[in-house]
Chain A
Amino acid sequence: MHELGLCDAMLKMVRDIAKKEALEGVRSITVEVGTLSGVIPHFLTDCWEAVIDGTELAETKLFVETLAGTAKCLSCNAEFTADPEKLLCPVCGGRKLTPLTGRDMTIKEIEAY
């Protein structure tokens, strides 16, 4: 999907942090990706290689951690881990769901020197 755009946004964010913290270099970045975000971790790491090529962050590794998304059933109010392939309430079988967590993608931490 738009992993390339997201990597570009991450590059800008990491540069801002590096400037603010007066870092010499960034060894790695760890991002958390929610399973309901639509972001595909494998594409993310490929696109990361592309955006850092030729930049001062060319050696920076990207680690992706997946966070299981949760949803709430609007019929019976049950809260559960949502399977993006099968959007059904496991309690009542309802299909009117609202996502609670897992839509986001967050830079968790960076390893710097």
Chain B
Amino acid sequence: MNDYRVIEVKKSVFENNDRAAEALRAELKGEKTFLLNLMSSPGSGKTTTLKRTIKALSPELRIGVMEADIDSDVDARTIAATGAKTIQIHTGGMCHLDAGMTRQGLEELKAENLDLVVLENVGNLVCPAEFDTGAVKNAMILSVPEGHDKPLKYPLMFSVCDALIINKIDVLPYFDFDMDKVIGYSRRRNPNIQIFPISAKTGKGVDAWCDWLREQVRHWNG
């Protein structure tokens, strides 16, 4: 009876993942591979945006894509058709990817032979923002039909992202989407966020996004 002892632990539950993510980033630096973590809601046009991005950058960069769609390989097949090396990461129904799953994906992809790897995270604006995947930069896509108040509803997602792509600007006339408001709300959460209004469908604005990404890759890969 009462012969329990109390062990002080004081260890972060997030710490294991944070450490794994830091280690992964250090390895990527050594291998000269840039990892972009791309997040969004389902249906924001991630796959179409990726196709455009690959088309623009593939003449100069060796690109790989890791798809984390929960239970289909539809997106993986669409991306594979662009010629980029593509694999499907199986999240086992999880709502996000962590650094361990990302590492397994990179190994399968043989990422050491690639300049740019895009991790297409699970379509969700909450959980992926909480877990460091080991990516060099985080980007998210918000599409016009989702509304300009998303930065208020999902503040963490907007604060962890280095870049925000606002997609589907071709349908702006049909929605009450206030571009100035979304930019203001996003900067409130993250004063340094880079914002790229684009239409993945028509290609408008895609060059500015690709220029930013190219510059980030060059900077990281030396």
Contact = CB atoms under 8 A, between A and B. Distances in A.
B81 interface: no
B13 A2 contact: no
Interface string A61-88: 0000000000000100000000000010
Interface stretch (B55-63, B91-99, B110-118): B91-99
A9 B4 contact: no
Contacts of A10: 13
A17 B130 contact: no
Contacts of A112: 4-7
A91 interface: no
Nearest to B7: A110
A53 interface: no
B126 interface: yes
Nearest to B155: A87
Nearest to B188: A95
Contacts of A5: 94-96, 98
Contacts of A12: 16
Interface residues of A, number: 27
B127 A109 contact: no
Interface string B7-29: 11111111011000000000000
B8 A108 contact: yes
A105 B191 contact: no
Nearest to B8: A109
A109 to B, nearest CB: 5
B3 interface: yes
Interface in B73-117: 94-96, 98
Nearest to A104: B12
Given A5-B98, A38-B126, A87-B155, A17 B13 contact: no
B7 A17 contact: yes
Interface of B: 3-14, 16-17, 94-96, 98, 126-127, 130-131, 155-156, 188, 191
Given A74-B191, A107-B11, A109-B9, 10 more contacts: A9-B16, A13-B13, A17-B9, A38-B156, A106-B9, A106-B11, A106-B13, A108-B9, A111-B4, A112-B7
